[in-house]
Structure 1
Amino acid sequence: MFAVTVTFEIKPENVDRFLALVQENAQTSLRDEPGCQLFDICHTPGETTVFLYEIYDSKAAFDAHLASQHFKTFDAATAQMVDSKDARLFEKVIR
């Protein structure tokens, strides 16, 4: 398992458009990427923070997500909407 969290601060005037685009990205990831197991989008109405929680089979599956055309399109379309972005990557600890 490979988990990804991303916290975005979105420019206030772009929140609705960003949410529409990130939902499209999540739906496409879940539908078209066999290694994408979970892609949750969290947002509190009236606020500018958007939090993503994603689960992939492996780092290779996440790398495939980053290389996908739909992700590249999303990333380019939203680049100017974002004030800040904090992405964190986690690997499952096996004992």
Structure 2
Amino acid sequence: MITLTVSLQVVPGHRDAFLAAIEENAERSFTDEPGCRYFDVVCDLDDDHHFVFHEAYDDEAAVEAHRSAAHFKVWRAAAAEHVVPGSQVNTLSRRLFHHS
């Protein structure tokens, strides 16, 4: 299992538009991509413009399929408008343990 963690800051005044865009991307990723196991969007308790995404994919091919999906291109256009430039940090990892 490959995890993708994304941390980013939203432009002040863009929170609602950002949330609409990421909600669509997260939902479409989970429902339309067979290799996406989960896509969680969380907001920092102390900064309501700082978000982290926790995503899990079957393998690196599923991550690439995600990045080439039509809805991801729509998301990237929205991110260009709503995310503070230079604030996004993506980390790909291999999941070792999961407890639910």
Q: Are positions 1:81 and 2:60 aligned together? A: no
Counting helix residues as a fraction of each chain, which structure ranks higher? 1
What SS does the aligned partner of 1:13 have?
Answer: coil
- The CA deviation at 1:16 is 1.2
- Deviation digits for residues 33-75 of structure 1 (CA, Å, limit 9, x no counterpart): 0000010000147621011000000011010000001001111
Match of residue 54 from structure 2 = 53
* Matched residue type, 1:65: H
The size of the alignment, in residue pairs, is 94
Runs of 4+ in 1 over 3 A off after TM superposition: none
What SS does the aligned partner of 1:12 have?
Answer: coil
Counting strand residues as a fraction of each chain, which structure ranks higher? 1
Tell me, in whole angstroms, the C-alpha distance in 2 between the residues paired with 1:36 and 1:74.
16
- The CA deviation at 1:12 is 1.3
RMSD: 1.7
**Alignment gaps of 5+ in structure 1:** none
- The CA deviation at 1:32 is 0.4
TM-score, normalised with respect to structure 2: 0.87
- The CA deviation at 1:77 is 2.0
Tell me, in whole angstroms, the C-alpha distance in 2 between the residues paired with 1:90 and 1:25.
21
How do 1:5-20 and structure 2 match up within 5 A? 5-20=5-20
Match of residue 25 from structure 2 = 25
